[in-house]
Amino acid sequence: MNQDRIERETLIEASLERVWSLVAVPGFWVSEESMMAEGEAKEGETMVATNPDYGAFPVRVEKVQPPTYLAYRWASTIREEGQHELREDNSTLVEFTLTAEGDKTRLRVVESGFATLAASDEVRAQGIKDNTSGWSEVFAALKRRAEQSSV
């Protein structure tokens, strides 16, 4: 296992525009659907995504290239209550790449930066483990939502 990054991809039976509209919401992978803010990501925007089971996660929009690329920075593995400053040593970079494949969309996520987290090897390894399973859940939910709305 690579100790610095997680890579996942899925093919979604929905248009590029539909999938973009879902991934362009900052923190979509953390917040429940009912708690998500409306509107597209804007570079430099920082917000806090809240999940009732896992707590609050600072998220910053790093780069937006509609409708094929988004990059976010978030503190998932190590975060302090009330601390929302995102740095390379307390957050990971999450990059989404969207590619049209006919009337479907291939969505790829790469989360990197675990090796530079200011935490013990055990904490970094647990972060990779937790987020690896988390991305599987996020992709399944996103795929359901995108495909239901495109029918």
What domains can be seen in the chain, in order of their start residue? 5-149 (3.30.530.20)
Q: Which of 131, 124, 116, 120 is nearest to 7 (CA)?
A: 131
Cβ–Cβ < 8 Å for 85, 60: no
Number of Cβ within 10 Å of residue 51's Cβ equals 14
pTM: 0.90
pLDDT given for residue 77 in this prediction: 80
pLDDT given for residue 50 in this prediction: 84
Per-residue model confidence as pLDDT tens for the chain (151 residues): 458 999 999 999 999 999 999 999 988 898 765 444 556 789 999 888 888 888 888 899 999 999 999 999 998 887 666 566 888 899 999 999 999 999 999 999 999 999 999 999 999 999 999 999 999 999 999 999 999 965 5
pLDDT given for residue 113 in this prediction: 95
pLDDT given for residue 56 in this prediction: 83
